[in-house]
Amino acid sequence: MNKKTMLTSLVVPMAAALFAVGAVPANAATPNDEQGGYVIADPGAARVTGEGVFYPTGKIAADTVVVIPQADGSLPNGMTTAKLERLYGPRHSLPVSARSGEVSPRSVSAAAASNYAYLASSASSWSRSFAGPNIIGADAGVKIHYRFTVASSTSQTNAGQGLGYYRGYNGSEFGTWSKWYNLGVADTRTPGSTSVPWGNVSAQTKFRAKCATSTICSGSFSASGV
């Protein structure tokens, strides 16, 4: 496993050195003085736009990790604030503009697995999102490699998308964006496979599919840090 990433189900020391985030504009305002550590994004303050989902964080240092909880505030893969502090250092508060209210994160458990099933229908453009492993990005250069296949002994051709993250602005607000990236197509001979941006983010990988040659289609996908 690449030193830049780790599954939260494993106890692995985080890398001491973190790198600058290339997705931040060159003329971005100087981050605040709180270096390192982590912030927990408020899912209630997230905004869905044509570019993706924007999680406001305010100006944070390039090496501050952004934790993306589930919609109900649950932290990825049974993480707790105590575990996050041991991994990253102190938690930093979000500015008022980045909060919908006081968030009390809950922890949930999730079993790690190498492959995850998906199911799609031609009745909709894309299937619902299917959850994969939880990944902690240890520096700004982290990418997630998605790979997906179709059900064996079929003539299916399926398209896939994987969720990734990058930092940037939404108007004058700074934060973390989530975005669906195209992973290509897969058939019984060739899997779909692409790496997408992730960076300093702790979150759950997600995949969705679309049937290209059949009414119902299915298969499996995997996601890992690179």
Q: Which two tokens stand for residue 115?
A: 């492959």
CA distance 3 to 225: 9
pLDDT of amino acid 137:
86
Higher pLDDT, 121 or 6: 121
DSSP state of 33: S
DSSP state of 8: T
pLDDT of amino acid 207:
97
Which residues, including other chains, have CB under 8 Å from residue 109's CB and lie 6 or more apart? Answer: 77, 78
Higher pLDDT, 83 or 34: 83
CA distance 203 to 191: 24
**Average pLDDT over every residue of 63-82:** 85
CA end-to-end distance (rounded Å), the chain: 8
Share of the chain above pLDDT 90, in %: 50
Indicate the burial class of 206 (C-beta count within 10 angstroms; 0-12, 13-18, 19 or more).
buried
pLDDT of amino acid 125:
87
**Sequence-ordered strand ranges (E) for the chain:** 5-7, 38-40, 47-49, 52-56, 65-67, 74-75, 106-107, 116-121, 130-137, 143-150, 158-170, 173-186, 192-197, 201-211, 216-225
pLDDT band at residue 101 under the 50/70/90 scheme: low
pTM for this entry: 0.72
CA distance 127 to 121: 7
Mean pLDDT of the chain: 80
Owner of token pair 């490699």? 145
pLDDT of amino acid 138:
75
**CA nearest neighbour of 53 among 39, 68, 34:** 68
Give the model confidence (pLDDT) of 111-139 as tens digits. Answer: 444 799 999 988 778 999 999 998 988 78
pLDDT of 213 strictly over 70: yes
pLDDT of 226 strictly over 90: no
Residues listed for the chain: 226
CA distance 202 to 94: 16
Give the model confidence (pLDDT) of 35-51 as tens digits. Answer: 789 999 998 899 998 88
